[in-house]
Amino acid sequence: MNQKLDLNRKVYEKRKYQNTIDTSFSELTPPPPPVEDTFTVEEFFDLYTSLFYDIPAEGEINSHQFLIQRSSEYIGFTQETSDEIQVLLDEITNLRQNLLATEQQVIQLQLSQSLNNE
């Protein structure tokens, strides 16, 4: 039972060893966390439209009230802005009433003039 067995051994220099052999424990490290899917603004609004009636009207978070407050803060819409808008709406209402009264006077003058001409 004499068999000849050839043994070969590779020897690396210290500098080459670190560049050649991977000494990290990659199999033992946990996998990286999954990348969260992001969606476009268009996809967001499609989802918002489909969930519109499922969203509570009022509430501190996750409600239409919350969305309004958050968006109002973002665009700079404050209660002062709302008050200014109300003043302008009141002025528009007043001007419309004045216009209506003036139009009624014009119609009455035209009627009385046409009656006088007959």
Same domain flag for 66 and 90: no
Indicate if 50 and 65 belong to the same structural domain: yes
The answer to whether residue 88 is domain-embedded is yes
Q: How many domains does the chain have?
A: 2
- Asked if 71 and 89 sit in the same domain, the reply is no
Looking at per-residue confidence, does 4 or 100 come out higher? Answer: 100
- Res. 25: pLDDT tops 70: no
Instruction: Give residues with Cβ within 8 angstroms of 66, minimum separation 6.
Output: 59, 60
The answer to whether residue 70 is domain-embedded is yes
pLDDT in tens, 48-64: 999 999 999 999 999 99
Residue 43: give the domain boundaries.
Answer: 39-77
pLDDT of residue 49: 94
Claim to verify: residue 71 and residue 44 sit in the same structural domain: yes
Q: Which has the higher per-residue pLDDT, 40 or 102?
A: 102
Please give the structure tokens belonging to residue 28. Answer: 């033992």
Residue 70 shares a structural domain with residue 82: no
How wide is the angle at C-alpha 19 spanned by C-alphas 13 and 23, nearest 5°? 100
Nearest in space to 48 (alpha carbons), one of 25, 80, 71: 71
Place of tokens 């973002």: 74
Q: Are residues 67 and 92 in the same domain?
A: no
Per cent of the chain over pLDDT 70 is 92
